[in-house]
Every structure is written in structure tokens, then in C-alpha cells.
Chains A and B, each alone.
Chain A
């Protein structure tokens, strides 16, 4: 990459030498209660490894937390999945999780070690941390990327669909480091786990937290009961759209999903109609799913929806409109009113389930 003429850049940014920046970071997300690392953080090791190999550099995980055992296990998992080194910031002062404190600590760590790339998973936590970290470092950030590459000058290409989900924008940060991005969960595959992989775990000192004081204090937490698998983790997803239209219709989809051991999801229309909550929305402004089988019922298949089902293995569409775009994005389509098809499908699957029960 060419030398940067600092006087042309915003003075607020400060002047840095991009050639001093090395290594690709993945900021890992811990589930403090389960004591495990998020699957979405591990997925990021796939593009991180690819970018690091193209750049001839290393992959580092970064972990923050207050549970030594969980941090150790998470660091090892990151190594088994492709990290060369994991930097762990362990402190009682990181309890409980606090966005401002964590973001400032990550920014400090980045100032100290100067990574050329920093990836976050675009989870709720990643989405609140990453922009604060980027801004603190006065660098650019690209949200919700679905692909990465490296250009001929060695810049990271951050690829994401802009608002029209049929397009892909290629974005880079040529004059600033680190180059930062969040990546959409469930778009990248988790790299294979290899317990024979070796890597270094570096326990960072608490001086990185000096002077960082939480100004938001967690008063209490109420856990929401979670009876079912979240859609982004489900193997079977039955999704309804405007065509399903009513709560009764969605109850029938629920029955179908239960038979498959899966969950019900929906399009943005279904959310707007109040038929399902936003966390069950599939698509650009919702989630990506990685189902083995995705059944779209009464969903027309707007680009903004189908972008969320790209990683599904088999897609089935049921829609009475033969022109519905969803059929272009499905492996198997049935042109019919879903009310005629879904009850029969439930009936047949029930028979199959019962047969298996007898065997």
C-alpha cells in the first residue's frame, strides 16, 4: 500500500503508518453464563485465515472477560479453529459486560498491537462494540459483510449487500488502519476443529483497563424463557409470509415445524403484520439461517428475504403465484394455495414419523 500523505487526511485522525500494522484479529464473543465462545466468532476464523494467508500474516483472537476458566477454554477453541495466537484480557473489572468498557479496552489493545484487520461478528454485542472501537481508533468500519477479499494493493475488500439485496458493494479503507468490519452471522462456515493445532495464549496485563470507568451500571437482569432453538441455529425452518396472513395460519406452520423438530420464522411482512417477533425474521434486516431444510410458505421471495437463506441446504417454496420470485430461489416449489398443501404435508409427515416410531 502506498504511503499516506497525512496532511491530506482529517487532522482529527492523527497520522499513522499503515505498514506498522500486521495481523488479522477476530474479537471473540463469550457467552458468560454458558462459559463458551460464540459459534459466530468461530465462523469468522474462516475469512480471517484466508485474509491472513493472502497477506502473509497471522490470525489472532482477542478475548475479554472475568471467568478465567471460560477464557482459557475459549482461547483454546479459537486456536483449534485456526487462530495462531489469542490475546486474553482477564480482569474482575470486566465484570459484568459493559459495552463502553469493553469497546475502550479493545481499542487500547489494538493501539498497542496494531492489527491491520479487526473482525467482529455482527451479533447484538458485536454491533454495539465495533463502531465504538472503530471510532475510537478513528478508522473506518463496514457493517454486516458477507464476503472478504484482498485487493492488489493489499487492502482488505469488505463486501456487503447495500440496501438493494441483489447488489454487492466492495468497500475498502485504503488510508487507515486497522481495517474494521462486522460480518453477518451464519454466512461463513465454522472452520474444522483440529485439537492438534498449536497456538500461543497471551494473558494481557490489566494496565490496558487503566482509567476506563463504567458510566452505565447494570442494575438487574431478567432472563427470558427460551423454549425453542433460535432460528439461526435451527436445522429445520418453516417460514411464513404475507400469504399466511393470520395467527391461525402461523399455528399451522408451528405444527409443521414441530413435526420436523424445527422452528417457525417469517418474512419482514410477517413481522410488520405482528405475526412473529423481529428476532424470528429471516432476511437482510433480520437473520441469516443455515437450515438443512427451509420451507417458505406464502413468501413472495423479495431479494431482501432470500439473502437470508443463501446458506440453507434445501429450499422448498409453497406459493399460489407461479410468478413469485421465491421459485427462482428454491430447489422444490409447489404452486398452490398453502392451505391446501400444508395440512396434507403435516398428515404425511406424521405418518412417516409414526412409522419411524414403530421401527
Chain B
């Protein structure tokens, strides 16, 4: 039997955010939110372990109430229990304050074997949360995990992939792991599960009345980092010379230009 906690984030679908070059603004209207795709690797790995050893998978997410949809999505994949951690005082949190809330919520869940996170999120891609949660809970942690090959007797063997090597670690449990990107093939949502999640209101909501955390440690107040301003990124000056017409002429033109630049290896 395993008990696995999996952390997910409800993120704007950054692929759908468009830039209007005429007005110089971001087009955010109608941009749907989704479960961070890299977190689905974590959900899949957690479900695989449960299918193999039996037990329970608990998904948690700190987000505004609209993220219930995201948790219903993973309930639809087969997660056993889902908890939304949501309170106005948690808003505006940086990664330290977010990990603090998540770590305290996980403490309330009692004993567990593994906490699994996705490698990073598509909206901010910091990859901080797994290590920060490990630090708050003083647990061992391994990043870039492709698979958990063995589990039992208070230990697990995990395989992780780096750029030039594959490593196998034996870790003491409980532990935190972050999955390698694209390492799993997340199973599809079963509509019957998702529907039941919705109709039975399966997503539990924990606010700060439940967690009872010091308001100086959460949300904007509990965040040591502060965003002071946001500006446009200056464009790199480029020559922007464009050739239209016959491909043969185009190639000649290009090679001439590249020779002038002195960037050809010949």
C-alpha cells in the first residue's frame, strides 16, 4: 500500500496567450486555465504506483476557487481524493510562501510515502516548489525522476534522467520527487469519474480556518520576494533584411550576406 500526495497547479494556458503587435498588449481574454501539463506526469506516476501497490493518491492545489475544475480533472484521471487550498490570505504568494502553505497542508494529511510534483509550471517555470516543500518538511528529494522502479520497506528506487546520464537513487521514505518533463503518458480523463467528482462535490476546500497559519507567513505578506515593476523587454536590434522571390536567388543573396558577416565556416 502506498500513500502518495501529488501537487498540481492551475495555470493559464500560456500557449493561448497572444500578443497584439498593433496595440502592444497581451491578449488574455478568453485564455482558459488548465492543469499545468507537467503536473500530469506527476499525477500519472502517482496513479501508476497506486495501481501497482494499492493505496491512495491525494491531489492538492493552492489556488482560487476556480481551480476546483482542475482538481475535478485529476479526480477524473482516477485520483482518490482532492484538496483545494484556497483563501484570500494565500493570494499573491511567491514560491516560499506557496511552499509553506503546501507543506503545512501536507502535514495535516498524516503519514504518506511520497510527494510528487511536476518538474515545473508552464506559467512561471521556476521549479522551486518541490525543493522548498522538501526543505520545510525536512525530507529527502530527487528531481528529474522518470520512474519509481521499486517501493517498499521504507525505501524507493527512483530513476532520474540528466542531460548526459541516467542515475538510480535509493531514497528513504517519505520523500519528495519531481518528475522529468514528458516522462509519462498521462491517462485520459474518464467522464464517469469526472462527472461523479462534480455531482458529489468531491473536491474538499481548505481555507486558513482549517490550516490556521500565521498571516505573516502566507500570501503576499509571507513572500520575501516583491515584484517592483514590469516593463517591455527591449528587442534585440536585428537587420531585418528580407528577400522575397526566386529561391535560387534567395540562397545566393543569403550566402553573400553570411560571407559579409564572416559567419560561414568556409
If the complex has contacts A143-B128, A219-B168, A223-B164, are A128 and B143 also in contact, measured as CB distance less than 8 A? yes
Q: Which of A60-68, A189-197, A238-246, A324-332 contacts B (4 or more CB under 8 A)?
A: A324-332
Q: Identify which of A140, A293, A316 gathers the most chain B CB atoms within 10 Å of its CB.
A: A140
In the bound complex, what is the Cα–Cα distance between A223 and B161 (angstroms)? Answer: 10
In contact, A140 and B223 (Cβ under 8 angstroms): yes
In contact, A314 and B258 (Cβ under 8 angstroms): yes
Residues of B within 8 A of A (CB): 12, 14, 17, 19, 21, 26, 94-96, 99-100, 120, 122-132, 134-136, 139-144, 157, 162-172, 175, 178, 181-182, 214, 216-217, 221-233, 235-236, 238-244, 247-248, 250-252, 254-255, 257-258, 261, 263-266
Q: Tell me which residues across on chain B come within 8 A of A334, comparing CB atoms.
A: 242-244, 247, 250-251, 254
Q: Tell me which residues across on chain A come within 8 A of B163, comparing CB atoms.
A: 124, 224, 230, 279
Q: Which of A9-17, A87-95, A111-119 contacts B (4 or more CB under 8 A)?
A: A9-17
Query: What are the 10 closest A-B residue pairs judged by CB atoms, nearest first?
Result: A140-B224, A140-B225, A215-B140, A135-B135, A10-B217, A143-B126, A131-B128, A131-B131, A132-B131, A333-B242
In contact, B227 and A169 (Cβ under 8 angstroms): yes
Q: Tell me which residues across on chain A come within 8 A of B142, comparing CB atoms.
A: 99, 216
In contact, B239 and A144 (Cβ under 8 angstroms): no
If the complex has contacts A11-B217, A218-B167, A310-B236, are A167 and B231 also in contact, measured as CB distance less than 8 A? yes
In the bound complex, what is the Cα–Cα distance between A355 and B251 (angstroms)? Answer: 18
State how many angstroms separate the Cβ of B180 from the closest Cβ of chain A: 9
State how many angstroms separate the Cβ of A31 from the closest Cβ of chain B: 9
Kindly identify which residue among B126, B243, B258, B263 contacts A333, using a CB–CB cutoff of 8 Å.
B243
Residues of A within 8 A of B (CB): 8-13, 99-100, 103, 124, 127-132, 134-136, 138-144, 151, 157-158, 161-176, 215-224, 226, 230, 236, 260-261, 271, 278-279, 284-285, 292-293, 303-304, 307, 310, 313-316, 322, 325, 327-336, 340-341, 344-345, 348-349, 352-353, 355-356
In contact, A332 and B143 (Cβ under 8 angstroms): no
If the complex has contacts A135-B96, A314-B263, A352-B266, are A171 and B165 also in contact, measured as CB distance less than 8 A? no
Give A7's nearest chain B residue, CB to CB.
B216
In contact, A218 and B143 (Cβ under 8 angstroms): no
In contact, B227 and A171 (Cβ under 8 angstroms): yes
In contact, A216 and B17 (Cβ under 8 angstroms): no
Q: With contacts defined as CB atoms under 8 Å apart, how many contacts are there between chain A and chain B in the complex?
A: 270
Give A103's nearest chain B residue, CB to CB.
B131
In addition to A144-B126, A170-B231, A304-B14, 14 A-B residue pairs with Cβ atoms within 8 Å of each other are: A12-B100, A99-B131, A158-B225, A164-B14, A167-B232, A170-B227, A170-B229, A224-B165, A279-B163, A316-B258, A332-B243, A334-B254, A340-B247, A341-B250
Q: List 20 A-B contacts (CB under 8 A).
A: A10-B214, A11-B217, A131-B126, A131-B128, A131-B132, A131-B135, A135-B132, A140-B96, A143-B128, A167-B233, A168-B231, A172-B226, A220-B167, A221-B166, A278-B181, A329-B235, A330-B240, A335-B244, A344-B247, A349-B264
Give A271's nearest chain B residue, CB to CB.
B182
Kindly identify which residue among A132, A173, A175, A335 contacts B135, using a CB–CB cutoff of 8 Å.
A132
In contact, A332 and B164 (Cβ under 8 angstroms): no
In contact, B181 and A164 (Cβ under 8 angstroms): no
Give B125's nearest chain A residue, CB to CB.
A285
In the bound complex, what is the Cα–Cα distance between A181 and B167 (angstroms)? Answer: 27
Kindly identify which residue among A124, A285, A303, A348 contacts B19, using a CB–CB cutoff of 8 Å.
A303
In contact, A331 and B238 (Cβ under 8 angstroms): yes
If the complex has contacts A103-B131, A135-B96, A215-B172, are A316 and B243 also in contact, measured as CB distance less than 8 A? no
In contact, B164 and A168 (Cβ under 8 angstroms): no
If the complex has contacts A141-B96, A219-B157, A333-B243, are A100 and B141 also in contact, measured as CB distance less than 8 A? yes
Q: Tell me which residues across on chain B come within 8 A of A144, comparing CB atoms.
A: 125-126
Give B183's nearest chain A residue, CB to CB.
A278
Q: Identify which of A162, A176, A223, A334 gathers the most chain B CB atoms within 10 Å of its CB.
A: A334
Q: Tell me which residues across on chain B come within 8 A of A340, comparing CB atoms.
A: 247
State how many angstroms separate the Cβ of A11 from the closest Cβ of chain B: 6
Kindly identify which residue among A139, A141, A215, A216 contacts B128, using a CB–CB cutoff of 8 Å.
A141
Give B238's nearest chain A residue, CB to CB.
A331
In the bound complex, what is the Cα–Cα distance between A175 and B178 (angstroms)? Answer: 30
In the bound complex, what is the Cα–Cα distance between A12 and B221 (angstroms)? Answer: 13
State how many angstroms separate the Cβ of B88 from the closest Cβ of chain A: 18
Q: Tell me which residues across on chain B come within 8 A of A171, comparing CB atoms.
A: 225-228
Kindly identify which residue among B132, B226, B254 contacts A345, using a CB–CB cutoff of 8 Å.
B254
Give A124's nearest chain B residue, CB to CB.
B162
In contact, A162 and B131 (Cβ under 8 angstroms): no
In the bound complex, what is the Cα–Cα distance between A135 and B19 (angstroms)? Answer: 35
Q: Tell me which residues across on chain B come within 8 A of A12, comparing CB atoms.
A: 100, 214, 217
State how many angstroms separate the Cβ of A70 from the closest Cβ of chain B: 17
Q: Tell me which residues across on chain A come within 8 A of B241, comparing CB atoms.
A: 331-333
If the complex has contacts A99-B141, A224-B164, A260-B265, are A162 and B230 also in contact, measured as CB distance less than 8 A? yes
In contact, B165 and A221 (Cβ under 8 angstroms): yes
In the bound complex, what is the Cα–Cα distance between A77 and B217 (angstroms)? Answer: 41
Give A319's nearest chain B residue, CB to CB.
B242
In the bound complex, what is the Cα–Cα distance between A336 and B235 (angstroms)? Answer: 25
Give A236's nearest chain B residue, CB to CB.
B265
Q: Tell me which residues across on chain B come within 8 A of A353, comparing CB atoms.
A: 266
In contact, B168 and A220 (Cβ under 8 angstroms): yes
Give A128's nearest chain B residue, CB to CB.
B143
